Amino acid sequence: MPHTHDSSDSIDDALEASTQGIRVLKISLLILLATTILQFAVVLISGSVALLADTVHNFSDALTAVPLWVAFILGRRAASRRYTYGYGRAEDLAGLFIVAVVALSAVVAGWQSVERLLNPQPLDNLWWVAVAGIIGFLGNEAVAIYRIRVGQRIGSAALVADGVHARTDGFTSLAVVIGAFGVMLGFPLADPIVGLIISAAIIVLLWGTVRSIGRRLMDGIDPDLLDRASHALQHTPGVVSVPRLQLRWVGHRLQGAATIAVPDSSLSDAEAVAVDAQRSLERALPTLDDMTIRTIAAATPAR
C-alpha cells in the first residue's frame, strides 16, 4: 500500500482494511450458515449427537461474525475527546466475545454427548452423517483460508483468530465422519465419544486464541514486527541508534513511538532525518497508522 505523511492517507488505509474485513465476514457468514443448515437437517433425520456437537459449534462460529462486523464498523469512527485513540480496540473486545461463544458451544456439545452416553439411542442414515461431516470440513476450511489470509493482510488479530477457529472446526467435522464409520462397524458409542472428543478439542485449541487476544489487550506485539521496525530505523541515513522503540495494535492498525539518536546538527537536519525514518517505517510496516518519532543528539565519543 502506498503511504505518505498525509494523515488522510492513513485514514483511507484504515477504511479500506475495514471494508475488506466486513466483506470477509459477510461471505464467511453465508458459507457457515449454509453449512449449518445442511448439517442440522441431517441431525434431524439421523439423531447423531456428534454431528449435533459439530453443528452447534459451526453455528456459534457463524455468529462470531456479528460482533466482528460491529467492531469493524466502530473502527471506522474518528477519534473523539473521550476515545482519543479511536475505536480500534472494539476488535479485541469482539475477540473476547468469540472466545466466550466458542467455549459455550463446547460446553453444550459436551453435555449432549454425556447425555447420549448415559442414554444411548439408535442412529439412522449414517451415510448422510458422514457426508454432512465432509460438508462441514469443506465449508470451514474455505472460510478459514479466506479469514486468515485477509486478517494477516490487514493486521486483524481477531479475524485471524476467527479463521483459526474455523480451521479447527473443519477437523472436528472430520471426527464426525470417523464416528459415523465407527457406528457402522458395530460400535454405537463411537458417536457420543466423538462428540466428547470434539468438545475437548475445542477447549484445548481455544487456549491459544485466549493467549493471543490477551496479549493484544496487554499491548503485546510480535517481536518480529519490532525487529522489522528497528531494522528500518537503524538503516535510515542519519540515524546513529534507536534508544527507544514501542509498538502496539489498535484494532488492525499499528501505533507507536520511537526515539532516535542523530548527529549533533541543526534542528532542520534532525527533522529531515525523522521524516526519512518515518518513511522507512511505513515501508517496513504497511499497517502502520501513527508513529511519534523524537530525535535526540547522539553522544559525542570522549577523546
CA distance 297 to 57: 58
Contacts 24+ apart (CB under 8 A), 69-72: 69/22, 69/25, 69/26, 70/94, 71/158, 71/251, 72/18, 72/21, 72/22, 72/25
> Buried b vs exposed e over 234-260: b needs ≥16 C-beta within 10 Å?
eebebbbebeebebebbbbbbbbebbb
- Is domain 223-297 classified as CATH 3.30.70.1350? yes
pLDDT digits over 239-294, tens only? Answer: 999 999 999 887 767 888 999 999 877 888 889 999 999 999 988 988 788 888 99
Task: Write down the pTM of the prediction.
Answer: 0.60
pLDDT digits over 109-166, tens only? Answer: 777 778 777 776 666 677 888 888 888 888 888 888 888 888 877 767 667 777 877 7
Task: Domain 7-217: give its CATH architecture.
Answer: Up-down Bundle (1.20)
Please give the DSSP secondary-structure letter assigned to residue 291.
Answer: E
CA distance 242 to 234: 7
CA distance 146 to 24: 7
Report domain extents, the chain.
7-217, 223-297
What percentage of residues in the chain have a pLDDT greater than 70? 88
